[in-house]
Structure formats: structure tokens, C-alpha cells
Amino acid sequence: MAAPQPVEPAKVSELRSAGKQSAPLSSGGGEIPDHIFKFAMLLCGLAVLATLGLIVYELVLRSGPSWHAFGFKFFGGRDWDPVNEQFGALPFVYGTLVSSFLALLIAVPLSIGVAVFTTEMCPPALRGPLSFFVELLAAIPSVVYGLWAIFVLIPILTNYVGPFLSRTLGWSGLFEGSFYGVSMLAAGIILAIMIIPIISSITREVLAVVPQHQREAALALGATRWEMIRVGVLRNARAGIMGAVILGLGRALGETMAVTMVIGNNPQIAKSLFAPGYTMASVLANEFSEATSTVYRSSLIEIGLALFLVTIVVNALARFLVWTVTRGQPSRANA
């Protein structure tokens, strides 16, 4: 018997249509259903493109009036005065940046520590449950984090953490003034808790693809475990870790509900982290449905457009960095 010839995938369809001509099969019609199916799937794919196009179109179109009224000064203005129709977005940009960077400051060392522990130090029996639990927390809705922050985190901050910080670090000016709990500090902490699962799970993924022989080489040269991790693992994975951090930043910038519930929603620029602030996302959440005048509404939509553009740039950068490390590996980075 002759061995069957290997068939290249590209030729399959030719062979199939050739077979059709000689012996038509009954199992599903001719070529037309195939074309219809492909066209339907193409439409679904194009719907994804259309959705993004529609988002950009709506945001640009509807932010027009505010753009014409204020121009670039919009993002430099400090006044947010709906009654006199004066709109400047600086306090919101400031609040978004400060709360997100505060969150990164807290979350990054902790997440990297957790990722290093789970990949390099953890007993295998503990590894599964630990990462499962950390990832479970990514499934908790934002509004539930906010609820917890209002009733648990803020009392702890006002009773213990606040007085301690103003006693020890009050000289820096970052922790002065009266502290009522709702503050930039509370927003930064709750954001940190929310982005730790993301940063640590992607960092873990990046560390896992560092080649095993890097570790073995370091150990063979007499490195201790920490030296092996520092030289053999972290140094190789730093671009990917950077990507994980930026992905966390992207999430923190756009986070709305939990921040809105604890930041105090006051459009001011204050040095003290004890003072309330306002973010771009929370001003949208609070004021969009009550914005009646055209300029007011389009100013809010312009803030939304800015938020949209910033998160796209941040996410693209992060994905590129993660991709440079995990390239060639099946990526599960599904943030």
C-alpha cells in the first residue's frame, strides 16, 4: 500500500472543491454557505473595529464645543465652575496622576515581592492556592472595594494611620492639615489594593518564562538564592516587570467607583495627601448625568477623551514591554 501523501493546509480547500465536482456530497451544500459564513464572521470582526471607531468618533464630536471654547488652556485651567461656565481640568489631571502614582508606590514593591515568592521561594503545595486567592481578588467588583474602604479602611486610617503619619512624617508637608479619612491617601491605598493582583500575576508570568538555565548557571557559580533571583531572574525580566507595572498604572488611571467613593470629590490641588481631591474618572461619574449646558457636558466628554487617549498609550506601551519578554510563549496576559 502506498503511504498517504502529506497534504499542506493551503491545498486542502482545492482538493475539497476538486472532490466536490466529481462526487457532490450531501452534508452541507456547496460553496455559497461557506461564503456566507465567512462574511458573517468578517462582519463580527468588523464590528470590533467599528466599536472602537464609534468610541473615538463620539468622543471627538461631542467634546467639540469645549475644545472651541477653551482650547489647550482647558488642561491648564484650575477653575471648575459650572455656574459661570468656566472649566479647567488641571485639578482632575493632578488628582488622577497623584492617586495613581501613590498606588504604584505602594503596590509595586508588594506585587514584585509576592511574584518572586510564588515563583522562586514558595513550597509547591502552597503555590496553587496562593495565586488562586490573589487572582480571585481581581474578580471583586470595584464598588465592593469602595464599600469596604468606606466602612473599614477609612476608620482605620483616621484612627491609627493618620495620626501616626502626621507625627512621624508631618515635617514633609505631605501629611498635614486635618484628616477626615476621605482623601488622596485613602484613594491611593484602595487603588494599590486593587492593582496588586494584576501586577503580581503578570510579573509572575514574566518570571516564569525566564529560562531555567539562567537560574542554574547562577547557582552553579555559587550564588545564594537571593543573588540568583537578583542576577539570574529579575535582571532578565525587568522589561516585562516594567510592562506589568505600566499595565497596573493603566488600570489605576481609569478606575472609577472605588476612588469616587473615598477621594472626597473636591476639585483642588493640595500638597497634603490628607486633603480630598478629585480624579478625571470620578468627575465623570459624579457630574455627567447632571450636566445640563452644552459646554459643561462637552467639557466632561473632553476629560473622557483625554482619559481614553492616555490609557490607550499606557496600555500599548505595557503590552509591548510584556511581549518583548514573553514573545514565543503562549501568553495568558488577559488583564
Partner 1 sequence: MPETAQTSALHTVAPIALRRRITNHVMTGVAVLTVVLVLVPLFAIFAYLVYRGIGSINWAFLTKTPRPVGEVGGGMANAIVGSMVILGLASIIGVPLGVGAGIYIAEYGRNRLGDVIRFTADVLNGVPSIVIGIVAYSIVVLAQGHFSALAGGVALAIMMIPTITRTTEEMLLLVPQALREAAYGLGIPRWRATLSITLRTATSGVITGIMLAFARVAGETAPLLFTALGNQYWSLSTDLDHPWAFLWRHPVSFFWNHHLRLGLDQPTAALPLQIYTYALSPYDDWHRQAWAGAFVLIILIVTSVAAVRFAVRRGTFGAA
Cα–Cα distance measured from residue 139 to residue 334, given in angstroms and rounded to the nearest whole number: 13
The 8-class DSSP code of residue 71 comes to: G
Tell me the CA distances in angstroms from 195 to 106, 232, 241, 335, one per residue in order. Answer: 10, 26, 14, 10
**In the complex, minimum distance from the CB of residue 131 to partner 1, in angstroms, rounded to a whole number:** 11
**In the complex, minimum distance from the CB of residue 171 to partner 1, in angstroms, rounded to a whole number:** 26
Cα–Cα distance measured from residue 234 to residue 166, given in angstroms and rounded to the nearest whole number: 35
Between 105 and 137, CB nearer to partner 1: 137
**In the complex, minimum distance from the CB of residue 69 to partner 1, in angstroms, rounded to a whole number:** 19
The 8-class DSSP code of residue 14 comes to: H
3-class DSSP assignment, residue 215: helix
Between 27 and 292, CB nearer to partner 1: 27
Contact 190, 146 (CB under 8 A): yes
Between 176 and 261, CB nearer to partner 1: 261
Question: Helices in the chain by DSSP H: which ranges?
Answer: 9-22, 31-62, 64-70, 90-116, 124-136, 142-148, 154-156, 162-169, 184-208, 212-220, 225-227, 235-254, 257-262, 280-287, 294-326
Between 28 and 124, CB nearer to partner 1: 28
The 8-class DSSP code of residue 209 comes to: T
Cα–Cα distance measured from residue 256 to residue 104, given in angstroms and rounded to the nearest whole number: 16
**In the complex, minimum distance from the CB of residue 235 to partner 1, in angstroms, rounded to a whole number:** 15
Residue with cell 533571583: 229
Between 137 and 169, CB nearer to partner 1: 137
Residue with cell 483642588: 268
Between 140 and 177, CB nearer to partner 1: 140
Cα–Cα distance measured from residue 148 to residue 128, given in angstroms and rounded to the nearest whole number: 27
**In the complex, minimum distance from the CB of residue 211 to partner 1, in angstroms, rounded to a whole number:** 21
Between 136 and 169, CB nearer to partner 1: 136
**In the complex, minimum distance from the CB of residue 106 to partner 1, in angstroms, rounded to a whole number:** 10
**In the complex, minimum distance from the CB of residue 308 to partner 1, in angstroms, rounded to a whole number:** 5
